[in-house]
Amino acid sequence: MCAADMMAMTNRANIQQATCQSAAAYVASCRAVGVDLWMPPKCVRKQMIRYMRAVRCELEDGSVLIAGENVTYDNNSPKSADIVLALDGNECLEPAKLSGLIKNIETELNAKGINDNRYAFIRWNMDSSPYVQVIDGKHFTNQRNLQRELDNMELTGVTNGQGDLYEVIEFAAKLPFRAGVGKSLVIVSCEECGSSNTQAYADTLNILLEADMRLHLLYPTKIGLKGEKVAKPLDAPVGFDDGKVFTLKDSRELRGDLNLKERLAIEKDFCMPLAIETKGSVFTMNLLRDRPNRIKKLWSVVGQRLSETGLPSPCLRCDCVPDRSGMGRTMCHPCIPPSLSDFFAENIKGTINSPSNKSDKFFEETLTVRHGIPL
């Protein structure tokens, strides 16, 4: 069809129009199978100028950007956060139990002066790509509305596999976040990580770092200690980050234990480092089958830890761009790319001080290698 159209326009003054029609058909065909392409600039320059001027992004302070414009936040980002809760479709956990987690997250964020927070809720499983559970017709809602949604959800008894955690992270990073706010993704999964795709790991890590998003994992991983057995349940480790190990004793005040880090013994996978390298954390959900008071303590620990990194990086550049529907959205990333930030840290301090090296050192002696593939 494209070749016939081109031949019909031969020797005509508007032959370029035929080229653009063919290009438009090709772009539409590619998008139909999930491949995004842009029209050639010659075809869309004038139309694009008018279109871009119509695309607008409203910032938290009420000011407006048009497509192509950007704003830089240098230690003056809004003290607010967008939190994404992602829950897989397996029925090992009553959604209502997560209502307490959301309440604790909001309480701890508020205690640190982080207010006007929004929440999104993602579901997925092996048979379904990730999707947003729309609440009141919107992707993002407030804490109370999300709690109500979780409280009213019922178990279906369906267990059909975990799905791809990397796909969930990529999907979450594309949500319409506000400009300059802190971004955190909390993944609650009934299955262990399972993935050993090193290329997908590298791509997913880059997505998280470029989006300035913190990843927090809550899944049934075993977290133990080398040596003597723990005498009391409150002394048992329930989570960790790049520097500390957390127990239920941290429920009143999050301190963490630096000494326990050297004794930590857990199974290595390709999801934990994603959390560690993005200033996030890892927690076990094995306690969720325990007594309600221990679950309450766990939610307090998770909420406090998330609030510690609830704000974004000190310097962010946010660009106004059109999304697939033609609406304006802001895309924010650190002013200094993460790779350059690591390079500067290494050369200025004389030692490598990047999150990547922290996690490599942290995992080197304390983790048992799963899949037989070292990171």
Is residue 119 predicted with pLDDT exceeding 80?
A: yes
Q: What number does CATH give the domain 78-308?
A: 3.40.50.410
More confident residue, 154 or 201: 201
Q: What is the pLDDT of residue 370?
A: 38
Full DSSP string of 277-290: HTT-EEEE-GGGGS
Nearest of 318, 274, 61, 64 to residue 177 by alpha carbon? 318
Per-residue pLDDT of 16-41, as tens digits, reads: 556 777 787 888 888 778 787 777 76
- pLDDT band at 53, cuts 50/70/90? low
How many CB atoms are closer than 10 A to CB 352? 15
Nearest of 214, 272, 263, 244 to residue 366 by alpha carbon? 263
HEC-encoded secondary structure of 92-151:
CCCCCHHHHHHHHHHHHHHHCCCCCCEEEEEEEECCEEEEECCECCECCECHHHHHHHHH
Q: What is the mean pLDDT of residues 202-222?
A: 94
Q: What is the mean pLDDT of residues 202-212?
A: 95
* 284 close to 222: Cβ distance less than 8 angstroms: yes
- pLDDT band at 163, cuts 50/70/90? low
- The Cα-based distances of 196 to 241, 274, 301, 375 in angstroms read 21, 13, 29, 10
- pLDDT band at 70, cuts 50/70/90? very high
- pLDDT band at 359, cuts 50/70/90? very low
Alpha-carbon radius of gyration of the chain: 23
Is residue 105 predicted with pLDDT exceeding 70?
A: yes
136 φ/ψ sector (left φ>0, alpha ψ -120 to 50, else beta): left
Q: Is the dihedral of CA 342, 353, 182, 124 positive or negative?
A: positive
Q: What is the mean pLDDT of residues 177-194?
A: 91
The residue extents of the domains of the chain are 78-308
Is residue 118 predicted with pLDDT exceeding 50?
A: yes
- pLDDT band at 306, cuts 50/70/90? very high
Mean pLDDT of the chain: 82
Nearest of 158, 153, 146 to residue 186 by alpha carbon? 146
Residue percentage of the chain with pLDDT more than 70: 76
Residue 26 corresponds to which tokens in the numbers above? Answer: 């090709």
Question: Bridge partners of 282?
Answer: 217, 240
Phi, psi of 90 (to 5 degrees): -70, 150
Of 196-200, 247-251, 319-323, minimum mean pLDDT range:
196-200
Beta-sheet pairing, 223-225 with 56-58: unpaired
Q: What is the mean pLDDT of residues 368-372?
A: 38
**H or E segment at 317?**
strand 315-322
Indicate yes or no: pTM above 0.85: no
- pLDDT band at 372, cuts 50/70/90? very low
Q: What is the pLDDT of residue 371?
A: 37
More confident residue, 246 or 365: 246
Nearest of 156, 155, 136 to residue 146 by alpha carbon? 136
